[in-house]
Amino acid sequence: MQETAAPLALLWHRTDLRLSDHPALCAAAQACSGRVLGVVVLPELTRASPRRLGYLLQTLDELRAAWRSQGSALIVLRGKVHERLPALAADLGVREVHTAPCPAFDEQLENSAVRQALAAHSITLVVHDEVTLIAAADLPFAIDALPEVFSNFRRAVERGGAWGALVREPLAECALTTVPESSAALAEAQTDATLAAEDLCAARAAAQCHDPRSSFQYVGGRSHALARIRHWFWDTDAIAQYKHTRDGLIGADFSSRLSPWLALGAVSPREVAKEIHRYERERIANESTYWLGFELLWRDYFHFWVRRWGSRAFAARGVRGRTPCGRQDADLFDRWCRGTTGEPFVDAAMRELAATGQLSNRARQNVASWLTRTAGIDWRWGAAWFEQQLLDFDVGPNWGNWQYVAGVGNDPRNRVFNVQAQAERYDPNGAYQARWLE
């Protein structure tokens, strides 16, 4: 199929849907004189809601345009990755496939299956570390020795007070070479065919629906991530108040809202860090600008955590081996999902989640605590519901936070939220509850 002797490489995208600050792409380009094609394999059956899937498709649209602008292409396939990817790589005469997944348990298994299937065609799978704020290789401890408690992790990586001490500069976009026309045409045809599927068209439509009660509409894709950074950092200076607004429930700007773009890798945490540092130099450095970096460290912590703990990140007894509240009451769980438990603050939040795929951190903590500690329901049910619904679903932060709130994870204080007291404190005039319950 190839027109010249120079080989091609494939970059197998997962949660790294960008071309900038991308060590795996740079390595692939270096191995093949810049002749790289991108590939994404969507599963036939997804755990994502149509809205979350639609958000992913929006992100892929921009990624596809970015690959085209480099003289190459993005191939979007559907099916079993260990079948589709090796077959494609063999068709294209590829020698190396590069990838940089978030290394949670399923992704590790997927890597093994794909590696084996590629080997049958004498093709090598090269697995790189994902881009976290702090590179795994720069941690002052081995991942297996990840501190059990976040504050010990933070102290170890901050080195005297600055979260940015170990953060590398983002990499510039690497130079790619135009791929043969036949390969690009094959990529475009396969992608068009995949994206025409009926359920994917329905998912696109779901992502475009906007509930008028919501203060913010997410659109997938790197340009929207960069626009959000411009707005929240530079146009409004909202970042400079973040420490005082971050527990908000209503409004567009109480927090950065970067999580869905970070979760799919449309923007990297190092790119956000670079912008924080620029803001601190050009406008103001205060406790709020520090706090955004602090929250990105939480994200890192849970990415390393899911890698450290393997299948125990998803086990009922959690990483501490504690006996969880494990009631399996399907009716009560269903009422929690639909927002009809009778507990107004919980119901308002669960309706917001179902209607928008979004939820503030404060509301997430409350609904998770109520489900696991008050209702005593199996925490994994809640985590799975969030996985389906959240636009920003990210395996480590989701399952790690759920364990933390359910008391089987890494919270040394083992707190239980008093949901009514929380509602009085964070929704004193009831505006949030009125918005979602009426």
**Can you give the binding site for ligand FAD, defined by CB under 6 A?**
246, 255-259, 262-263, 292, 295-296, 298-299, 302, 360-361, 364-365, 368, 386, 390, 392-394, 397-398, 401-402, 405
- Specify the residue, 67 or 386, whose C-beta has the smaller distance to ligand FAD: 386
Please tell me whether residue 153 adopts helix, strand or coil conformation.
helix
- Specify the residue, 12 or 385, whose C-beta has the smaller distance to ligand FAD: 385
- Specify the residue, 96 or 271, whose C-beta has the smaller distance to ligand FAD: 271
In eight-state DSSP terms, residue 168 is: P
- From the CB of 60, what's the least distance to ligand FAD, in Å? 19
- Specify the residue, 132 or 191, whose C-beta has the smaller distance to ligand FAD: 132
Contact, 387 vs 350, CB < 8 A? no
CA atoms of 319 and 302, how far apart (whole Å): 12
Residue 392 burial (10 A CB sphere; 0-12, 13-18, 19+): buried
- Specify the residue, 2 or 361, whose C-beta has the smaller distance to ligand FAD: 361
- From the CB of 215, what's the least distance to ligand FAD, in Å? 12
The residue among 76, 85, 99, 74 whose CA lies nearest residue 183 is 74
| C-alpha torsion sign, points 31, 36, 40, 41 | negative
- Specify the residue, 341 or 398, whose C-beta has the smaller distance to ligand FAD: 398
- From the CB of 89, what's the least distance to ligand FAD, in Å? 31
| C-alpha torsion sign, points 200, 205, 211, 215 | positive
- From the CB of 397, what's the least distance to ligand FAD, in Å? 4
CA atoms of 147 and 295, how far apart (whole Å): 17
- From the CB of 76, what's the least distance to ligand FAD, in Å? 23
- Specify the residue, 57 or 405, whose C-beta has the smaller distance to ligand FAD: 405
- From the CB of 33, what's the least distance to ligand FAD, in Å? 35
The residue among 188, 178, 396 whose CA lies nearest residue 304 is 396
Cα torsion through 367, 214, 196, 59, rounded to 10: -80
Contact, 262 vs 272, CB < 8 A? yes
- Specify the residue, 390 or 408, whose C-beta has the smaller distance to ligand FAD: 390
Alpha-helical regions (H) of 213-316: 222-229, 242-245, 259-264, 269-282, 287-309
Please tell me whether residue 178 adopts helix, strand or coil conformation.
coil
- From the CB of 253, what's the least distance to ligand FAD, in Å? 9
- From the CB of 28, what's the least distance to ligand FAD, in Å? 26
